[in-house]
Amino acid sequence: MRLVLTALIFLAGMFDLFLAISFLTGPQQAAAGFGLSPTGTGGLSTLRADMTAFFGVAAFCMLWGAWRRNADLLLVPILLFGTAMVARLINVVVAGPYDGWPVPVAVEAFHVVLLLIGWRTLPHHRIDEIAG
C-alpha cells in the first residue's frame, strides 16, 4: 500500500512538474489549456512566474516528499491545491458555473485527497531528527 501510494504521489508530482515546465517555456500555450490569455508582457510574465511557481513548488514538495518518504513535505501542496479548490468553488457560487468547471476542481480534489492520505500514511520527520 505504501509503495503504491508513494508511486501515485510521485506520478502526480511529475505531472505537476510538466505543467510548471510548460508554463515556464511556453506560457501562452499552457495558459490556453487553462482558459487563460495574457494581456501584454506583464500578463505573460505573471503567467510564467505565478503558474510556474505554483506547479513547480507543489511538484518539488511532492517528488521530494515521496522520494524521502517524508510526509511533512506534502503539507505545502495540500495547502496549495486545497486553496485553489476552495477558491474555484467560491467562484462557482459567486460568479456562477462555466463549461468544464468540475474538471479542475476534481484534479485539485484528487491532489488533496491523495496527499492527505500520504500525509497520514508516510512517516513524519521531526526537526531535531534532521538536525541531529
Residue that has been written with the C-alpha cell 491545491 in this structure = 81
Model confidence at 131: pLDDT above 80: no
pLDDT score of 46: 95
pLDDT at residue number 130: 53
Q: What is the pLDDT of residues 75-119, one digit of tens each?
A: 999 999 999 999 999 999 999 999 999 999 999 999 999 999 999
Instruction: Judge contact between 81 and 115, C-beta under 8 A.
Output: yes
Averaged pLDDT score across all residues of the chain:
94
Residue 126's pLDDT is 65
- List the one residue out of 111, 108, 116, 114 whose CA is nearest residue 90: 108
DSSP tag of 125: -
Using a cut of 0.85, tell me whether the model's pTM lies above it.
yes
pLDDT in tens, 55-76: 999 999 999 999 999 999 999 9
